[in-house]
Chain A
Amino acid sequence: MATGIRDKVAILGMGCSRFGERWEASADDLMLEAFGEAVADAGIERDQIEAGWLGVFYQEQSTSKSGLPLSMALRLPNVPVTRVENLCATGTEALRGAAYAVAAGAVDIALAMGVEKLKDTGFGGLPERTKGTFEDQWQPGFTPPGAFAQLAAAYAARHGVPIDTLRRAMAHVSCKSHANALDHPKAHLRFPITTEQVLAAPTIAYPLGVLDCCGVSDGAACAIVTTPEIARRLGKRELVTIKALQLAPSNGVEMGHASWDGSHTLTTRIAAARAYREAGIRDPRAELDLIEVHDCFSITELVLMEDLGLSDAGRAPADILDGRYDRDGAIPCQSDGGLKCFGHPVGASGLRMSYEIYSQLLGRAGSRQLRTPALGLAQNLGGIPNRNVASVAIFGLAASH
């Protein structure tokens, strides 16, 4: 019976572009920026990469279809490049492809790149897209904030939390991420905000105000992966390995069946359970030193604390207000500012989260450095609460030799 890829794949190097409104940069420029950092970090030559996975969501907006944009931007030596797309879990999906190739022994060194060039649409928010010839005929014309806002009403009803209390906890989520992003030079939104500002911000989709929403950013992030053995041969002393990489897509239950109550993300719970098993984690609350979650909206981060098993049912608002997920709390969440402030170039986000975990584990996080973290988790939620793809990746320091 297969046991997963725990400790079979090591991260040789990572890179991340500056995120933000990169009016001067194309998708190619962003990929080159991230890749330059990663290849230097890995200490290898570009031509040692044997295969690539490119994650991009809005191909019609950012690049074009296929693996070609990566192969051509980096002028790779005609090695196989696969383009993957799995909504907002795209970046993690690219990493999964590269990691599985290494774990399978198909290649020694593989590249996972995620990129998104969102700020050429001419308007704020994410671009409009079609859902499919049949789905367009019946699904409502939702936006991401409107779709995620629904978690709030359902959560409040499910747990009997007054909406004002819930909104204060949601505001704390946003304030915390703004404070964290101040310490990351590559983050998109680097300014502090207050709870009062969040609550007074214009409503985008009830009950979400504009400061409950993450940034819409350009950016790229990438990882170069290999086996722990090769990484050591290449001179790496401290190694970050992949402990678990799990993915759970919806199968229609949330959108079509009465059993889902709309107050949580079903797939995250499934992906997390699998990831904890793959990583050998018994008590995530005690074992995880930091987490990066898909905080596209404040309410999303709030319900994810329960979906990941880190807060008891109905307790997330209180835990958040108690500072449990602040940078000096028990389980720091979004130490780099998260989607909220680091930014959310869709295809890059999973790899950006991995980049923060990797940086923290190796003690490279500068003024945001946490004290001796050894195990971190990155979670993505692609799509909307009733139709989505959840990914959970867990990284840790390999036992030193």
Chain B
Amino acid sequence: MSRGIAAWGAYLPRRRLVRAAAAEALAWRAPSGARARGERAYANWDEDSITLAVEAARDALGSRDRGAIDGVTLASTTLPFADRSNAGLVADALSLRDAVRTVDATGSQRAGTGALIDALASAPGRSTLVLAADRRATRAGSAEELAYGDGAAALLVADDGLAAEYLGSHSATAELVDHFRASDAAADYVLEERWVRTVGHLGLVPPAVATLLARLGLVAGDVRHFACPLPPASLRTVAKTIGCAEAAVVEPLDERCGHAGAAQPLLLLGAALERAAAGDLIVVVGFGQGVDVLALRATGAGARPARGVAGALAAGIADRAYVRFLAQSGALEMDWGLRAERDNRTAQSAYFRRHRDVTGFVGGRCRQCGTVQYPRAGSCVNPDCRALGAQDEVPLAGLAGTVKTFTEDWLAFTPSPPLAYGNVALAGGGNVFIEFCDVEPGELAVGAAVRFVFRIKDLDRLRDTRRYFWKATPVRH
């Protein structure tokens, strides 16, 4: 019985920092930086590795039955919680069934490929959602700030309806510290790139790939898609050393969105799947204190995502506001005024009573009149019904919405002013009072179409935690 990838999805934050604009702002200290090319995706203040992963997962799953999913692994080196199930939160946001196994995978840039190999190599019969996401913190003015990006990829590993069949994998561990970040550190400490390129990339990756290909009875010339998350400066040389055709190298995303850490190999795999024909051999590499190599064969079948990597790349907006990037990424501590002092302590017992409603955005449907409503209540909101009694659960996250009222509020506290919010009518009835996100000033209008996305609702700085809810964002064509 074969195992493989049944679906994939991707998500990149909307804002793309124009590197030249950042370099220009930093030219006073590094005049040579002005040559910086391309853009990097950066998360809004209300996005973290959990929300990025949720959006990638939603892209992969589409309208697929989520009841068939047995497990979720979230791979990231930037998990918001050190001791609270991050994958569990993702599973709740996706409204997966309770009997689901959730695992957080972390510790290196190979967390994503490692989680994928584990899922692919496991016994048949289980359907596992492998998610990789990173929101990479960097210091202002660092090279990493421009090189890195934020993003997430999702892969559904299953036995049926495969887009790619798993052939095998090879892993090697090497205590080569090209960069590191202590558990409580704000940003990476990075070593000289020439050493990393020669001893790390060139020294470790080609032998690992050769080992796997030999074991599978394949040769480098068979590789149609080489998905390898190394910097462009290393990638061509590594591919040439292996013997991969130049056309087989999946275009690195560095200039389009930056390097999204543990998610990068999986994003490249998504890009490979989007261009692969039936029968194509795909090789995926993970690099970080060692090497993971996976081989897959495209089937030409399987479900294609609505957005995918190509869609995620295309959905960006160029942003030249370097100071906004610093403020959103946390590298710059802004003064948000006295209104930011409001305490946002979460009553966890109240949260647990309604966690499905809040995290999963589950509303109620009246058993008498069928009216959909949020929040679910013990009495119907329809003025012509008002029936007392329990309501059936109804998932709202996937519904289309229409702006009924809105404002852009410059007085309210938000790390991304103005705070936009209003009433949104739900397709099929119902109304929700909700925050808007990723909105440009002047973009909202009564009657505009919106969809819902999973975001951080409040940061609790006093207790170093956060809570999540859904927000409405414009549907853009």
- Interfacial residues, chain A to chain B (CB-CB below 8 A): 121-123, 125, 128, 130, 133-134, 136-143, 145-147, 149-151, 153-154, 156-157, 203-206, 208, 251-253, 255-262, 385-387
Contact = CB atoms under 8 A, between A and B. Distances in A.
B431 A257 contact: yes
A156 B430 CA distance: 22
Nearest to B344: A136
B408 A205 contact: yes
Interface in B337-377: 337-339, 341-344, 346-347, 350-351, 353-354, 357-358, 371, 373-375, 377
A255 B407 contact: no
A251 B429 CA distance: 17
Given A145-B411, A146-B419, A257 B382 contact: yes
Nearest to A259: B383
Contacts of B445: 153
A78 B377 CA distance: 42
Interface string B378-400: 00011100100000000000000
B411 A257 contact: no
B404 A262 contact: yes
A255 B375 CA distance: 10
A211 to B, nearest CB: 14
Interface of B: 337-339, 341-344, 346-347, 350-351, 353-354, 357-358, 371, 373-375, 377, 381-383, 386, 404-414, 418-419, 421-423, 425-426, 429-435, 445-447, 457-458, 467, 469
A153 B446 contact: yes
B421 A123 contact: no
- Most-contacted residue by chain B among A133, A260, A385 (CB, 10 A): A133
B414 A141 contact: yes
26 contacts: A133-B347, A136-B458, A137-B457, A137-B467, A140-B433, A140-B434, A141-B413, A145-B409, A146-B412, A146-B421, A150-B405, A153-B422, A154-B404, A157-B446, A203-B408, A204-B409, A204-B411, A205-B412, A206-B409, A253-B383, A256-B377, A257-B431, A259-B383, A261-B404, A262-B405, A387-B433
Given A138-B469, A205-B408, A257-B371, A128 B339 contact: yes
Contacts of B433: 139-140, 255, 386-387
Contacts of B425: 258
B408 A134 contact: no
A142 B408 CA distance: 10
Nearest to A204: B411
Contacts of B353: 134
A137 B351 contact: yes
Contacts of A134: 350, 353-354, 375
Contacts of B405: 150-151, 153-154, 262, 385-386
Nearest to B413: A141
A352 to B, nearest CB: 24
A123 B337 contact: yes
A62 to B, nearest CB: 18
A137 B350 contact: yes
B449 to A, nearest CB: 15
A204 B339 contact: no
A127 to B, nearest CB: 9
Q: What are the 9 tightest A-B residue pairs by CB atom distance, in nearest-first order? A: A146-B409, A150-B405, A262-B405, A157-B446, A140-B421, A133-B350, A133-B347, A256-B381, A149-B407
- Most-contacted residue by chain A among B353, B374, B375, B458 (CB, 10 A): B375
Contacts of B407: 146-147, 149-150, 153, 205-206, 208
A310 B358 CA distance: 42
A253 B423 CA distance: 12
Contacts of B434: 140
Given A145-B409, A386-B405, 8 more contacts: A134-B375, A137-B457, A138-B357, A138-B374, A146-B411, A256-B430, A258-B431, A262-B405
Contact of A256 (B344, B411, B431): B431
A125 B411 contact: yes
A83 to B, nearest CB: 24
Nearest to B350: A133
Given A128-B342, A154-B405, A386 B350 contact: no
A238 to B, nearest CB: 43
Contacts of A206: 407-409, 418
Contacts of B423: 150, 255, 262, 386
A251 B407 CA distance: 23
Nearest to B358: A137
Contacts of A143: 409, 411-412
Nearest to B343: A130
Given A123-B338, A137-B467, A206-B407, A257 B375 contact: no
Contacts of A147: 407
A255 B421 CA distance: 13
A157 B409 contact: no
B339 A123 contact: yes
A154 B377 contact: no
B411 A140 contact: no
Contacts of B408: 203, 205-206
A248 to B, nearest CB: 13
Nearest to A139: B433
- Most-contacted residue by chain B among A121, A252, A385 (CB, 10 A): A252
Contact of A258 (B411, B429, B457): B429
